[in-house]
Every structure is written in structure tokens, then in C-alpha cells.
């Protein structure tokens, strides 16, 4: 069974930074493509970004609202995914979910095959 456990959420002031972690088990993490998806309170889902496996280049892609402020990375030795968030703004307040990508065809996969329970990030003064 695939399990994803996020941690690191909390309250941060505007302009501050936070790093989220996602520990993954139940799959071969090193070959997995992984994504972060967020959900503002009472709102819909928003894709944040993705990291490919190192064997597929290890490249990252980001949604426009977070590009240049957020960085996704991975430590395959620890089966852990990270989301470094800098220059946080109130509109970044959301539950952040770690997800696996899958059901791939061509050069792309779906984001959101397996999900963690989410971690809440609140940006407020």
C-alpha cells in the first residue's frame, strides 16, 4: 500500500519561508514522479509543481503563481519529497498535498494518483 505522509506545515508571516516534507512508502520512490497540489480553505484544487525521477532527468515544473518562489526537491535515499516555499503571501494559505504521478502516456502523467493527508500552511501576520 502506498503511503504519503506530509509534515512541516504551520503559521508563517508574509514574506517568510517554510519547507514541507513528504515521506513516501509502498513504492519504488526513486523512479516515481511526484507532485504537490494545494487547496485553499473552502476552495478547489490547484497544481503547484512536479519533479520527475532522476532517471527521467529529475527536472521540475511549476505553476505560474509559485514559479521563482517555490522549489521542489527529492532525497531518494530517504524516500522523501520536499517543497521549499519562499516569499510566502497570504494567497499561499492552503492545505498542501503530496501526490504521486501515474497513468502515464507519451511524455506526461496524471498528477494525483495517490495522496497524502495534507499539511496546512497558514500565511498571516
- Cβ partners under 8 Å of residue 108, min gap 6: none
Provide, rounded to whole angstroms, the least separation between the CB of residue 115 and other proteins: 4
Provide, rounded to whole angstroms, the least separation between the CB of residue 14 and other proteins: 26
Binding site for other proteins (CB under 8 A): 35, 44-47, 50, 61, 63-64, 97, 103, 105, 108-113, 115-118
Which residue's CB is nearer to other proteins, number 37 or number 88? Answer: 37
Which residue's CB is nearer to other proteins, number 76 or number 113? Answer: 113
Rg of the Cα trace of the chain? Answer: 14
Which residue's CB is nearer to other proteins, number 16 or number 112? Answer: 112
3-state helix, strand, coil in the chain (%, to 5): 5, 55, 40
- The Cβ-side half-sphere exposure at 96, using a 13 Å CA radius, reads 30
Amino acid at each position: 500500500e502506498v503511503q504519503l505522509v506530509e509534515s512541516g506545515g504551520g503559521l508563517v508571516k508574509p514574506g517568510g519561508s517554510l519547507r514541507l516534507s513528504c515521506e513516501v512508502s509502498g513504492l519504488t520512490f526513486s523512479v516515481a514522479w511526484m507532485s504537490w497540489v494545494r487547496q485553499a480553505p473552502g476552495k478547489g484544487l490547484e497544481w503547484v509543481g512536479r519533479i520527475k525521477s532522476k532517471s527521467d532527468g529529475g527536472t521540475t515544473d511549476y505553476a505560474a503563481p509559485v514559479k521563482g518562489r517555490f522549489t521542489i526537491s527529492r532525497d531518494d535515499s530517504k524516500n522523501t519529497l520536499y517543497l521549499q516555499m519562499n516569499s510566502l503571501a497570504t494567497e499561499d494559505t492552503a492545505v498542501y498535498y503530496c501526490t504521486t504521478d501515474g497513468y502515464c502516456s507519451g511524455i506526461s502523467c496524471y498528477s494525483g494518483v495517490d495522496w497524502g493527508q495534507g499539511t496546512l500552511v497558514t500565511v498571516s501576520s
